[in-house]
Amino acid sequence: MMRKLKIQYQRKNIRFAILRKLLKIDWKIKMYLKVINIKNFRKIKDAKCVFNPGLNLIVGPNDSGKSAVVDAIRFVLRQVVDDYSRISIDDFNDKEIEISIDIIFSFDDCKASKQIEESALFAEYLSFTADNKPELKIWYNIKSNEKDIKFPEFKVGPTKNVAVDMDVRCRENLKIVYLRPLRDAGNELKAKQGSRISKILSNHNDIKTAEAQLIELLEKFRDDSEEFFENGKGKQITDEIKRLVNVFDEQSILQNKKIKFGPTEKLDSLRTLEKIALYYHNMPHPGLGTLNMIFIAAELLHLSIQKTPKLILVEEIEAHLHPQRQLKIIKALQDESKKGIQMILTTHSPNLASVIDIFRLNICNEGKFYSLAQGNTELTTKDYSYLGRFLDVTKANLFFTRGVLLVEGPTEQLLIPEFAKFLGYDLTDYGISVICTYNLGFDHFVNTFKRKKSPFNQIPIAVLTDADRKNQQKIIDYENKLKNE
């Protein structure tokens, strides 16, 4: 039965590929990573991560699983820049069980934004949903044998049982951009052999169409440099070298050997581009934050001309940036993501979590992944609107905590931690945040953690209200509502 299904799937893909070629379909769609299911990878036992087409921000305390999600993506899809990091034996949560990472790419119509040309590179590997929408499903598995790991399996298909191998050249097109947390932006921006800047520029259409012009510049440099050493101010240097060589080599004059200064490398555009750096000409010693911004801008330039998928992973996007610059860059990235680039970022900054659209947030906690996108929580349209207006940097601490205590006003926010210390409990040591709502609008915050389906929230939340008479009926109504739930 399975063999029959596999043959049918292969035939369907072949028919689709032939049809595409015959009709010369020009797809105007964008491809984005929609879902990744991770099992037995590091501290993640079993997690389903759902992403938006544009910007996604993963937040959470240290050791919550943020980096594990990012690494799972890059290990499967691999990076544009060569990186030899691979899954190791230490990445297994349980060495007796295989690591399973399943990825689903979805294809959305781009009529609402700038049309993005897709070349249907993966057409022969697509499967289809019940409503006939195309998907690319990837099944990645790797097993261990106590001391080492076996070669990973990378398959594509509608189900794991009928999945097939993907052509190596086709898989190359899945590579994504990854910026590590401790990135050396200064080194990446330098002019050197194999530099990142030269690779980004060499793939740009404007450079490809101007390759002949670059070669002309090289040839002119070669001719000018040779002229400088033969007839210009460098002639004395050449003459002295000739004199010494003639002394050393008695055949030099007889055989009319000519010696000259000049470039000997093959004239091509890539070698020219390797001499180019990216920098502020009026800032000789820029800081790490400035270099980080330039580096991100260069990578976005690369993604703007990459066919598919336009996906960038950035760990600790706030690295080396002061708070005001963090706000500026996250707002700019939200705008850039609307041009068809999917961004999956991690952060420890409540500053960033406070300004991004709430539905773009994803909370990691104890190896679990909680998307705040619509349909995943009890957040209503009114809640999203409220949090968008009133969620500031202090309230955004609730996304990085291991326990939340919601209070009405600043007095409680100041006194409760002190009361706890008097009783022998330092709330900071327990990772508990006291969040002031400045009113009785607790629902807006509580609904952030109330899930419609598994995984359900494991972060303890408490609500502490005043005993004001004018609020007594509201408090009673709220308590009754909680009891009914």
| Full DSSP string of 404-428 | EEEESSHHHHHHHHHHHHHTT--TT
Q: Which pLDDT score, from 0 to 100, does residue 265 have?
A: 66
The number of residues making up the chain comes to 485
If one compares 77 and 243, the residue with the highest pLDDT of the two is 77
Is residue 100 pLDDT above 70, yes or no? yes
- CA-to-CA separations, 74 to 79, 84, 212, 364, in angstroms, rounded: 6, 11, 36, 18
Report the alpha-carbon distance of residue 26 to residue 21 in Å, rounded. Answer: 10
pLDDT at 352 > cutoff 90:
yes
What's the CA gap between 251 and 240, in Å, rounded?
17
pLDDT beyond 50 at 245: yes
**Cα(299)–Cα(333) distance, rounded to whole angstroms?**
12
pTM for the structure as a whole:
0.82
Model confidence at 133, pLDDT cuts 50, 70, 90, reads confident
> What are the tokens at 368?
């679990």
Specify whether the CB–CB gap between 416 and 464 falls below 8 A. yes
Q: What is residue 24's predicted lDDT score, i.e. its pLDDT?
A: 41
pLDDT at 127: 85
Q: HSE, CB side, 13 Å, CA atoms: give it for residue 41.
A: 28
Place 471 in a pLDDT band, splitting at 50, 70 and 90: low
pLDDT at 118 over 60: no
Contact by Cβ (8 Å): 144, 49: no
Whether the predicted pLDDT of 99 surpasses 90: yes
Bridging pattern class, strands 164-165 and 153-156: antiparallel
pLDDT of 26 reads 38
Q: State the chain's mean pLDDT as an integer.
A: 83
Q: Where are the alpha helices (DSSP H) in 430-470?
A: 442-446
Q: pLDDT confidence of 267, banded at 50, 70, 90?
A: low
Higher-pLDDT residue of 469 and 249 is: 249
**For 34-76, how does the pLDDT look when each residue is reduced to its tens digit (9 = 90+)?**
999 999 999 999 999 999 999 999 999 999 999 999 999 999 9
Share of the chain above pLDDT 90, in %: 32
Residue 308 has a pLDDT of 74
Task: Measure CA 53 to chain center.
Answer: 12
Model pLDDT, residue 255? 67
